[in-house]
Amino acid sequence: MTQQIVGKLAAKCALTFALLLGIHAAIPTIAAADEGGISFWLPGTFGSLAATPVQPGWSFAGIYYHTSVSADGATAAAREVTIGRFSPNVNVNLNVNLHADADLALLQASYAFATPVLGGQLALNMTGIAGRNNVSLDGTLTAMVGPAVFTRTGSIDSSVTGFGDLYPQASLRWNMGVHNFMTYVMGDIPVGAYDPSRLANLGIGHAAIDSGVGYTYFNPQTGREFSAVTGLTYNFKNTETDYQNGIDWHLDWGASQFVSKQVHIGAVGYFYQQLTADSGAPPILGDFKSRVVGIGPQIGFIFPVGNMQGYLNFKGYKEFDAANRPEGWNAWVTFAISPAAAPPPTPQSKLVRK
């Protein structure tokens, strides 16, 4: 295989893969951080080739996302306080366990413009979700109100099936040889299934805006790449609970190697840290800043779909070093269809004159 062919195939892989990894933006994590254990930003949203420009035109994707997380202590008790099952103004012994499982389906439509904007490629997309979320709490809460002591032991189970919030996103990407740069902004339109008195929700109950920058090193000749995207989330106040999450910082990264023109393998990971304290948090919880780290493998496959290009990706994360946040594992299965890269021009035969 010549270097020219390898370069074109790798470039086509990069275009599709970048689209797919950009699609992961803004899936609401289940029981993850901030108010009662829920945040807007989903760690792992971006990964390999995230900053690489995509093929112009319409693209569509579907993602299946599963997460299973657990927590105890203040993180679990915060959920019970949030739903009004316990007063936030009493001294509580936090002997409670929380477990959550969610299965979500995401659908996204994306359009990348062919005409440059500020020298880069502008892309717009909208993501909607549907699925099921199950959350349970069990254990003992012991509260002291003055000289009196109250104890409650038992469990609370909650589940919801329906639609989540909507997540618009805009991005600009620039390519400079093996170096690629990106900036993005996304938001949360809080229209999903949400009830402040319910443990399980599919919406977060408030608006949010997130913005950041990304970089990808991609060498088509070797098939190697490394990407990192970092950003900040500002959360608006939840008017139903009078609670406002703090500012969150996140860093997603990915690295992969194309082992053939159709297959790449690699690793993905993330860091998530809440920078400022929540406002409206119960006194027993303090500032309730959250943190988590995750890492895992990935594998992707590229294949033709008619005159379009298909992409199938599997990736998973194991979480650790969590603070004020449930930890566990999550898995992603992504399928997308995007415009295929234009074929190279046909070489013109030289006219031979005798």
Q: What is residue 228's predicted lDDT score, i.e. its pLDDT?
A: 97
Give dist(CA 278, CA 287) in Å, integer.
6
pLDDT digits (tens, 9 = 90+) for 184-222: 999 999 999 998 888 889 999 999 999 999 999 999 899
Mean model confidence pLDDT for the chain = 81
Percent of the chain whose pLDDT exceeds 90: 55
**Cα dihedral angle (337, 171, 50, 121), rounded to 10 degrees?**
80
Phi-psi region of 68 (alpha: psi -120 to 50; beta: other; left: phi over 0): beta
Residue 254 has pLDDT above 90, yes or no: yes
Give dist(CA 33, CA 65) in Å, integer.
18
Q: What is residue 349's predicted lDDT score, i.e. its pLDDT?
A: 52
What is the DSSP code (8-state) at residue 26?
T
Q: What is residue 72's predicted lDDT score, i.e. its pLDDT?
A: 73
CB distance 129 to 164 below 8 Å = yes
* DSSP β-ladder status, 248-258 and 263-274: antiparallel
Q: What is residue 241's predicted lDDT score, i.e. its pLDDT?
A: 84
Q: Domain 3-339 belongs to what topology?
A: Porin (2.40.160)
Query: Among 32-41, 59-68, 134-143, whose mean pLDDT is lowest?
Result: 32-41
pLDDT digits (tens, 9 = 90+) for 67-80: 999 877 666 556 55
Residue 132 pLDDT grade (very low, low, confident, very high; cuts 50, 70, 90): very high
| Closest by CA position to 174, among listed 165, 184, 182 | 182
Residue indicated by tokens 């139903």: 240
> Element (H or E) spanning 80, and its range?
helix 73-82
What is the DSSP code (8-state) at residue 207?
-
Which residue has better confidence, 209 or 243? 209
Q: What is residue 288's predicted lDDT score, i.e. its pLDDT?
A: 64
| Ranges 4-13, 147-156, 283-292, 344-353, most confident | 283-292
Residue 290 has pLDDT above 60, yes or no: yes
Residue 171 has pLDDT above 90, yes or no: yes
Q: What is residue 312's predicted lDDT score, i.e. its pLDDT?
A: 94
